[in-house]
A and B are shown apart, each in its own frame.
Chain A
Amino acid sequence: MSIAEVTGATGLDKDEERRLYHEEMAIARKYIGPFPVVMALWCFSNLLCWFALWPLVIFDVIPLWAGFIIATANVALCYLPSHEAQHSNYANPGKPLRWLNELIGYVSTIPLVLPFKIARYTHMLHHKHTNDPKLDPDYEVIAPTWRQAVMKTIRRMQPGFPNSYGTVLAENTDDPAAQRAGLEGVVQSLAYWGILCALAWSGFALEAAFLWWLPRMVGTVYISLFLSWWPHHPMKETGRYRNTRSFTHKLGNIVAFGMEDHIIHHLHPGMPLNRNKAAFRELRSILEARGCRLEDHHA
Chain B
Amino acid sequence: MAILKALFPWGPVFFGLGFLAPLIASLMITLTITAPFGLTEIQTGLIIGGSWGLVAKFGGRWI
Asked whether any CB of chain B lies closer than 8 Å to the CB of A186, the reply is yes
State whether B61 touches A159 (Cβ < 8 A): yes
Closest to A154 in B: B63
Other-chain residue from B4, B19, B27 in contact with A196 (beta carbon distance below 8 A): B19
Proximity bits, A168-190, B CB within 8 Å = 1, else 0: 00000000000000000010001
Asked whether any CB of chain B lies closer than 8 Å to the CB of A11, the reply is no
Other-chain residue from B4, B14, B22, B61 in contact with A200 (beta carbon distance below 8 A): B22
A186-B4, A205-B26, A206-B26 known; A161 vs B60 contact (CB < 8 Å): yes
Name A223-249 residues within 8 Å CB distance of B: none
State whether A159 touches B22 (Cβ < 8 A): no
State whether A200 touches B60 (Cβ < 8 A): no
Other-chain residue from A154, A201, A206, A208 in contact with B30 (beta carbon distance below 8 A): A206
Closest to B8 in A: A186
- Interface of B, helix, strand, loop or mixed by DSSP: helix
A196 CA / B23 CA spacing, docked (Å): 10
Chain A residues near B4 (CB-CB < 8 A): 186, 190
State whether A193 touches B19 (Cβ < 8 A): yes
A154 CA / B57 CA spacing, docked (Å): 16
Proximity bits, A147-158, B CB within 8 Å = 1, else 0: 000000011001
Chain A residues near B11 (CB-CB < 8 A): 159, 193
- Interface of A, helix, strand, loop or mixed by DSSP: helix
State whether A159 touches B56 (Cβ < 8 A): yes
State whether A197 touches B19 (Cβ < 8 A): yes
Chain A residues near B26 (CB-CB < 8 A): 200, 203, 205-206
Tell me the minimal C-beta distance from B1 to chain A in angstroms.
8
Chain A residues near B60 (CB-CB < 8 A): 158-161
Name B40-63 residues within 8 Å CB distance of A: 56-57, 59-63
Chain B residues near A197 (CB-CB < 8 A): 18-19
Chain B residues near A154 (CB-CB < 8 A): 63
A158-B62, A159-B60, A161-B60 known; A193 vs B18 contact (CB < 8 Å): yes
State whether B59 touches A200 (Cβ < 8 A): no
Proximity bits, B18-32, A CB within 8 Å = 1, else 0: 110111011100100
Closest 9 A-B residue pairs measured CB to CB?
A: A160-B60, A158-B61, A197-B18, A200-B22, A205-B26, A205-B23, A205-B22, A159-B12, A200-B19
Chain B residues close to A by CB (< 8 Å): 4, 11-12, 14-15, 18-19, 21-23, 25-27, 30, 56-57, 59-63
Chain A residues close to B by CB (< 8 Å): 154-155, 158-161, 186, 190, 193, 196-197, 200-201, 203, 205-206, 208-209, 213
What are 25 A-B pairs at a CB distance below 8 A? A158-B56, A158-B62, A159-B12, A159-B57, A159-B60, A159-B61, A160-B59, A160-B61, A161-B61, A193-B11, A193-B15, A193-B18, A196-B18, A200-B19, A200-B22, A201-B22, A203-B26, A205-B19, A205-B23, A205-B25, A205-B26, A205-B27, A206-B26, A208-B23, A213-B19
Contacts beyond the supplied A193-B15, A197-B19: 10 A-B pairs with Cβ under 8 Å: A154-B63, A158-B56, A159-B62, A160-B59, A186-B4, A196-B18, A205-B19, A206-B23, A206-B26, A213-B19
